[in-house]
Structure 1
C-alpha cells in the first residue's frame, strides 16, 4: 500500500493557482449557448458558481483582494444591465446576498430583494409547485432538474434567513423535497438529471455525474444556510448517505467518477469528482455521515489535484450539459476548462484546509 502526503502549504499554493486560472480563462471551444459560460465577463450560472466559491475562500482566509474582485465584478455587470430573470441567471445572486452583508450597500440589497421576490412569487411552477428549469434557451415549464437546487433554491433559502422571512425558508425546503421525490432513484439512491411531468419519465434515465454533484454540494451548503425541522433534516441526510454509498461503489480505481456514473464506457469527469469530494468531506466534518467515507472523499481530492495543470487550469471538465434523451448524448459532450470546473475544485480545496492535522494530509 502506498500513501500520498500533502502539506497545508501545497493546498494553499494550489488554491492561488486555481483562482488565477479562473480569472484568466480563455474560450477554447465554439460555444453553443446564448451567452458564454466560459468567459467570466458574463452573468449566468457558470460564473455564479465561481463567484460563490471565491466568496467562501474569502471567508476562510480574509483575503481582501478577493472581496475587491467580487465587488468589481458585480459593479461592472450592474452597470452593463442585468439579464432576464431565470433559474440560471439567479445563481450569482447568492454571492451578492453575502456581499451585501460585507458592504451594507443598499443597491445590492435592493437587487437581491427584487430577484428573490420574483423567484418565490412570480417564477412559473410545475405540478406540485416545483420550480421548472426555465433558462434563456429552455421554454419547457414541465421539467425538474437537479441543478435548479444549486442555481436558484440556495438563494431563496439564504434570503429567507437573511430577511427573516419564514415563507422563503419553507419554499426552499419544499423545493428540495419535490426534487427529491421526482429525481431520486429508489434502487440506487442516485439522482436522475431530470423529470418531465408531461412525459412522466426521467428522460434518458441518466445518472449524470455533475448533476449528482450539484445536488450533494447544494445540500451540504443548504444545511449551513437553513436549519430545516429536524425530521426533514434527518430525511435529507439519509438520502445523502444513500447517494454516497452508491458513489463509493462507483468510484473508479484512480479516484474519479464518470460523466454517467454507472456507465463504464462514459469518460471520467473532473468537475463532478471535485463536487463529490467537497460534499463528502464537508458531510464527514459536519457529522452528517460516517467517518468511514472520509477515505472516499480524499481519494477524489487527490485525483482532482492531478487534473490541475501548471497554469492552474482544471482539465477534464465537461462543457455545459443540457438534458439528454439518450445516454450517448452525455458521452459526446466536449471537455474544456470552465468557471464551474475551477470553482468546484476551489470549493474542494478550501474544504480540504479543514482536514489537516499536525502531520499533514494522507491518502492511501
Structure 2
C-alpha cells in the first residue's frame, strides 16, 4: 500500500469512528430517559412498595361511626328485658303485693347495676348530646326508672341481709365498695339532669354518702381498699370515684366535690404515676410502698385517663389543681402515642408488646385522645393516633354488635404471668361503654370546624393523615 493510500485510509477510519461514536451518544441520550422511566415504573408497581396495613388505613365517616354505635346499642338492648323474675323458673313476677324471696332482676347486661353498665349509660347520654339522637338517652331513663320503680319491693324484704347481693343488681341496698355505686351513680346523675325524676335522688344521696363518707380512705383522704393487700390504692378507683364526685359538683354547685375529685387524681397519682414511663402503675400498697412492683395494665391507665377527661370537662376553669391534672393528661397521651401498636390497638400490658392487643383500653385511649384534641387540652397532631385507634376498634365490633377482645375483670396483681394470660371475650362488658364513648368523640373530631384534615391517599407509596389547626395558617 502506498503512503498516500495508507494515510487516506487512516483519516477515513478516524472520521468514521468519530461519527459512529457521536451517533451512539445521541441514541443513548434519547433512549436513556425511556429506560429510566420504564425502570421507575417497574419499581412503582413492584409488590411491597405500597404498604399492606393489617387494619385498613382508612378515613372513617360520620355515618360509618353511627352504624357501629347502633350495632353495639342493638346488642346491648337484646341482652335483657329489664323485668323482675323468679330466679328458679325464670318467669316474670307481676304480683308485688307480697315479697317473693326468689325474686331477682332479669339477667343480662342491660339489667345490671354495675360499674361497666354505668360507663355504657354515661356513653349513651354523651351520644345523645353529640348527635342529637335522644333515643340513646331514653335508654338511660328506661333503666333507672326500672330500678327506682322496683327497688322498694326489695327494700321492704326482711330476708335480704346487709351486704347480700340481689342478682344482677349486686349490693344495691348496702354499698361496700366504689365498684358498687360510683360509675353507675355518675350516670344516674346525668340522667336525673335530663328527666328530673325525684325518685332518683334518694339513691344518688346514698351513693354520695358511701363515696364521700363511708368508703375506706388513707389518712390523707385518698380513696383506697384493704384488698388484696393492707391499704391498697387501685388506679381503677380513679374512675370509680372521680366521675361521680364531678357530677355531684355539677348537680349541687358545691366546690367541695371538685376539690375531692381533684385530690383523688393527684394523690392517687403521687403513688401510682411513674414520670419516667408517663403511665400509671396498676396498684400500690402500704406494705411495699416506694418499692412496689410496677405493672402498666392497659385498662387501669384507661380508667385514669377517662376519669381525668370527665373532671377536666366540668371543673371550674380557674380551679387550683387544673394545670397539674392537665399535665398528667398530656404526658400520658405523649407516652401512649409511642406505645400504640401498628394495628392501632394497645397491648394489655402497655410496655409489653408480646402481650395481646386489648379492646377496652384501645377504646378508652381513642376516646380520651380525640376528646383532648376537641377540647384543646392536647395538640391536634395526635389526630392520627385517635383515627387509627378507631379503625382498630371497628375490627372488634362483631356483626351482631358484640364487642370482642376485651380483657376480663382483673384484680391488682403482682406478677407478669397473671396479666399476660388474662382471658378476653365478648362477655367482658368493660369494653362496651368505652367503644360507645370513642365513637361519639370521633364524630366530634370529624366535625371539628377548627381543624382541616388532609387524608391519606389510598394505595400510595408514601401518604398519611395530617390534622391541621386552621388558625395557625394564613388565610387563603
Q: What TM-score results when the alignment is normalised by the length of structure 2? A: 0.69
Q: Which blocks of at least 5 consecutive residues in structure 2 are unaligned? A: 1-49, 52-56, 81-104, 155-171, 457-463, 465-476
Question: Structure 1 residue 175: deviation in Å?
Answer: 0.8
- Once the two structures are TM-superposed, the CA of residue 83 in structure 1 deviates from its matched residue by 4.0
Q: How far 1:335 sits from its partner (Å)?
A: 0.5
| Matched residue, 1:124 | 216
8 Å Cα contact 1:256-1:269 kept in structure 2:
yes
Contact 1:38 1:339 survives alignment (8 Å): no
Contact 1:54 1:66 in 2 (8 A): yes
Contact 2:217 2:224 in 1 (8 A): yes
Equivalent in the alignment of 2:272: 183
Distance change >3 Å, CA 124–CA 323, structure 1 → 2: same
Structure 1 pair 231/168, CA: closer, same or farther in 2 (3 Å)?
closer
1:89 is aligned, of 172, 180, 184, to: 180
CA distance in 2, matches of 1:193, 1:37: 31
Which whole-Å CA distance do the structure 1 matches of 2:305 and 2:294 have between them?
19
Counterpart position of 1:199 = 288
CA positional deviation for 1:150: 1.1
Q: Please, which of 58, 61, 74 is the counterpart of residue 128 of structure 2?
A: 58
Sort the Cα spacing of 1:288 and 1:354 in 2 relative to 1 into closer, same or farther, 3 A: same
Q: Which consecutive unaligned segments of at least 5 residues does structure 1 have?
A: 27-34
Contact 1:37 1:339 in 2 (8 A): no
Per-residue deviation, 1:214: 0.9
What is the rounded CA distance, in whole Å, between the counterparts of 2:201 and 2:67 in structure 1? 34
Is the alpha carbon distance of 1:94 and 1:230 closer, same or farther for their aligned partners in structure 2, counting shifts above 3 Å? Answer: closer
Kept in 1: contact 2:278–2:331 (CA 8 A): yes
Equivalents in 1 of 2:326, 2:358: separation in Å?
A: 25
- 1:19 maps to 73
Q: Deviations over 1:253-292 (max 9, x none)?
A: 1111100001122111011001000000110111111111
User: How many residues were matched structurally?
Assistant: 353
Partner of 1:69: helix, strand, or coil? helix
Distance in 2 of aligned mates of 1:46 and 1:74: 15
Within the alignment, does 1:264 sit opposite 2:264 as a pair?
Answer: no
For 1:264, what is the secondary structure of its paired residue? coil
Residues 318, 38 of structure 1: CA spacing in aligned structure 2 closer, same or farther, 3 A cutoff? Answer: farther
- Residues of 2 paired with 1:239 and 1:37: CA distance? 39
Alignment of 1:98-177 (within 5 A): 98-133=190-225, 138=227, 142-177=231-266
- How far the C-alpha of 1:201 sits from its partner, in A, is 5.0
Counterpart pick for 2:143 among 53, 56, 73: 73
1:18 and 1:314 in contact (8 A); partners too: yes
User: Is 2:434 the counterpart of 1:344?
Assistant: yes
Distance of aligned partners of 1:351 and 1:25 in 2 relative to their CA distance in 1, 3 Å threshold: same
Q: Tell me the residue number matched to 1:7.
A: 61
2:324 is aligned with 1:235: yes
Aligned residue in 2 for 1:220: 309
Q: CA deviation at 1:63?
A: 3.0
Give the deviation of 1:215 after TM superposition: 0.8
Aligned pair in 2 of structure 1 residues 239, 335: CA closer, same or farther (>3 Å)? same
In 2, Cα distance between the equivalents of 1:156 and 1:37? 29
Distance 2:256 2:425 in 1: 40
Q: Distance in 2 between matches of 1:312 and 1:266?
A: 25
Q: Which protein is bigger by CA-based radius of gyration?
A: 2
> What is residue 31 of structure 1 aligned with on the other side?
none
Partner secondary structure for residue 98 of structure 1: helix
- Superposition TM-score, scaled by structure 1 size: 0.89
- CA separation in 2, counterparts of 1:267 and 1:117? 39
Distance 1:198 1:16, change over 3 A: same
Contact 1:216–1:279 (Cα < 8 Å) also in 2: yes
SS in structure 2 of the partner of residue 239 of structure 1? helix
Contact 1:183 1:202 in 2 (8 A): no
Question: Does the Cα contact within 8 Å between 2:122 and 2:190 map onto a contact in 1?
Answer: no
Give the conservation status (yes or no) of the 8 Å contact 1:255–1:303.
Answer: yes
With 282-291 and 122-131 compared, the bigger mean Cα shift is at 122-131
* Separation in structure 1 between the aligned mates of residue 391 and residue 346 of structure 2, nearest angstrom: 13
- Aligned-residue CA RMSD (Å): 2.5
Aligned counterparts, 1:324-363, within 5 A: 324-337=413-426, 338-356=428-446, 362=455
Give the distance between the partners of 1:223 and 1:340, measured in 2 at CA.
Answer: 22
Distance 1:159 1:301 in 2: 31
Q: Secondary structure at the match of 2:220?
A: helix
